[in-house]
Structure 1
């Protein structure tokens, strides 16, 4: 049974999404926060949940309480760009703004009569509890097991990269939230990648910035001089870059020789133009060299 949960801000009267004050340091006004969830459940079913973090600027950490015996209750089948190659079992999910996770929860692992709560361990007040499920003794029909093989994903080899680019996401004393120290100027490209080429892009931060790249998805190749993190599998279009951290991604653009952008997806930072343009360019060999778009 599919379910979706997301996080939004509303005014204290519940009349709509609140417009936060755009303050560069603390990231917004203190207003009432609620979790929006479709929480009606026929007991005894396996749930496939699309988890989306739409919060203005904070990471969510989703976890089931209690955990089933053996842990690994949240079985990830997909992410930003679709299915993973194989399912990944997590005890908890750290989700930055704009990241998406498709997870499967098998409630047959819990004893009948158990009340299972989906919690946000990083929440505040009423946002700490997301959903609640009462497990009955009823059994659902059909095979709810997640296949061991979900898809095939072409690997982008960073060793074949034609260029390595660095994008520094920082607060400037003179220009506010910037990329590479420059305020955003529409139409001024910070990079000109060629269609079909593999490039490595390095994102470096001062504070917490989830980085979102438009046009085509990418693959995370490393974090802080190590390998990818536990939530970096598959095709992604948003990557969670922690404070004073660095993430390397392999990108290859295959569609459209035009201007696009990358930006921080903390919405206050985005609204204050923590953005950079890049322009994809076409060569005679681009059409032959470019692979199929992973979105198709």
Structure 2
């Protein structure tokens, strides 16, 4: 029996469409669709990991519960990025259900988003963005599986750097928590390297000890990483073309993306390719964070 001490938990969620959208010709890389917002929403897919030491989970979980209690008078509230933004969902899920105002919900959205900067030393993020425009061979470059592979590799590298071990807790990708069907099984296959996707930088994951699937409603940190995943998606929908623009020195940022910027895993202030990866990364700009 292994004596490895599992000191970290890694929570994973996605944002954007997992599949290619045949309506668009993503192999045609140009700016003709620059103002077509739906094109960019369909184009990017994001998987995000939130890594946290087990020691820090109770205090941050308590903080989130207190925020919920303050606004909704109960801690048993599921927070989803889409529900906080979509007018119909806002009304159905929060405003009418808990008898609160639009302003109170907006204030809560800001407060829950500020969990990231408040705990930027304890809560670390790794995000991977798949840009569908560049992939002509769709069979070998499934957005979901390829993004998962790169995310798992970055998690492995980071946990190895911490000289520790982690389990993965993933927001369920199917109607059930079964690990033997659908997207849940695909994640298992990627983790076991049964997909045989190239290039592969980790043959066997030594630092990731297990993977579990949970319902978002039962886990505050899955709800938190859901917010982060959407903020990354929104950053690329709004400003993704700047990521590869060699003429600019500083990226414009979506305001909620700015709140998570210091949570990304980094090396010497650089997050590109470490805490935030784009597939493919054509320009390889050394984007970092402000100190």
Point out which structure has higher relative CO (alpha carbons under 8 A, 6+ apart): 2
User: How high is the TM-score relative to the length of structure 2?
Assistant: 0.21
Computing the radius of gyration from Cα coordinates, the structure with the larger value is 1
User: How high is the TM-score relative to the length of structure 1?
Assistant: 0.21
Query: Higher strand fraction: Structure 1 or Structure 2?
Result: 1
